[in-house]
Amino acid sequence: MKTVIGIDLGTQSTKIIFYDVVDKRIVAEASAMHKMNSRGDGTREQEASWWIDAAIEAFAQIDKGIRDSAVALGVSGQQHGFVPIDNQGNVLYPVKLWCDTSTVEQCHTINQNAGGIDRIIESAGNPVLPGYTASKILWFKENHKKLYDKMETILLPHDYLNFRLTGEVVMEYGDASGTALLDVKNRIWSEEILKALDSDRDLREALPNLIKAHEPAGFVSSEASELFGIPKGILVSSGGGDNMIAAIGTGTVVDGLMTMSLGTSGTLYGYSDKPVIDKEGNIAAFCSSTGGWLPLLCTMNCTVSTEIIRKLLSVDVNNIDKLASKAMAGSGGLILLPYFNGERTPNFPNGKGTLIGMDLENVKEENLIRCSMEAAIFGMRVGLESFKKLGFSPKEINLTGGGSKSMKWRQIAADILKTPIIVTENEEAAALGGALQSLWAYNHIHGGEKELTKLIADHCRGSEVLRYEPGSDTGVYDEIFRKYMKYIHALSALFK
């Protein structure tokens, strides 16, 4: 047996799969949970050591014979997290995560120093927003200057895991574009933004070398082999951000395809062979982890909102669909603005979860559950309408992420987005994408299919399991969405 490993370093857990490249199937999988430290100022942090502990725990659940069959490995990681490293390879501070919104003032400072948001979008493609890495670096400088001065290297979560696996320090373009430090059109670090962040220090010296998507990040070291129980010397691919790698796992590697992920965050993205810049700033101008670009919408509250409401009502996760099915489309008039973590799109770093429309009749469990599900998809519709302005008009959307397991949520998505929703057999898109990217890199060295689209067609079979067509509730949702947008505009001054 010959396998490749996919690691998905997520917010809530680390997942690992072993994919048999001959039989073209996942032969083993395991996961281990992470904690997260949260504070009322928007701080969301994790210790990088927790990720390593979780990977060790997950690998230990896999049979040694299967572990020994691996020839390559690819890492998908939660985007935007800031991992500062000293010259000994030590992490200097807890990792501020993608969902951390405590750096609003630092965003203002960088954007202002660089000539304003419009100027940054024009020159580099992405404004500096809470959640992106750039403002976390300035926060670190302002709040922990002595540690900042010791910082030798800036890494992202997946880069850090690659570093622990190989001892090498590199970064690839997809995840790098989510730092807001990269000129995504020219694929180089933006001197303007780096100087706006720190005019006294050349931060390019702290940023890793950028490598192409098919190039290896390195090879598993002796230390990592012993630590994780995997073969020494196997290839570790460039890896990438979770959305970039999930795009590989769902086959979103050619123009015209779109994927929506319902996870802790909600994302909607499509592949492009050229840069896509949204002057309104709703769609992030990211690079892909396959050599192209991946324009992407990200909302910071997706399954977050359903989990909060579910726990409030003490509803078992297996009963969500049943309870939501008791409510009519529109949840009896209840509309939830699900900004529990603040929000990136729209840019509401001070946003709060807000329930609107309560009356004497509609405050019922089923309406509360259903409106939390609808809220996540309304956020996706904002993004889909922005995509359409940019020339993307998908005939169907591939659905992935934990929320995709809900049959009711699938239909709600089709109705609100007025687009067919496709559910495939590939549930762990990010982990599978990591495995397939590693196979792609392996083939470049050892021979085999080097054309990614052909490799995806051969291995990412993702055969359609279910298809959900827009139904009779689309008209109802058009009206509810108009109300949703009015509420957003009315409360925007409180959330910015």
- Residue 308's φ and ψ, nearest 5 degrees, are -65, -45
Both tokens of residue 309?
């409401």
> Within 13 Å of residue 78, how many CA atoms lie on the same side as its CB?
28
Any bridge partners for residue 356, and if so which?
Answer: 335
Containing 244, the helix (H) or strand (E) segment is: helix 242-249
- Cβ count near 330 (within 10 Å): 20
Euclidean distance between CA atoms 145 and 349, whole angstroms? 25
Euclidean distance between CA atoms 372 and 208, whole angstroms? 40
* Per-position DSSP letters for 96-113, written without gaps between them: E-TT--TTHHHHHHHHHH
Please, are residues 284 and 131 in contact by the beta-carbon 8 Å criterion?
Answer: no
- Interhelix angle 452-459/429-446, rounded to 10 degrees, is 130
Q: Which 3 state secondary structure label does DSSP give 442?
A: helix
Mark whether 242 is an active-site residue. yes
Give every CB contact of residue 204 below 8 A, 6+ residues apart in sequence. Answer: 189, 191, 194
- Cβ count near 386 (within 10 Å): 19
Please, are residues 291 and 350 in contact by the beta-carbon 8 Å criterion?
Answer: no
Euclidean distance between CA atoms 156 and 97, whole angstroms? 10
Greatest C-alpha distance within the chain: 68
DSSP structural state of residue 457: H
By the 10 Å C-beta count (0-12 exposed, 13-18 middle, 19+ buried), 185 is classed as: middle
Of 127, 119, 286, the C-alpha closest to 213 is: 286
Of 242, 62, 99, the C-alpha closest to 161 is: 242
Q: Quick check: bond before 157 cis, omega within 30?
A: no
> Within 13 Å of residue 81, how many CA atoms lie on the same side as its CB?
31
**Choice among 159, 242, 278, 415 that is catalytic:** 242
| Residues forming the active site | 242
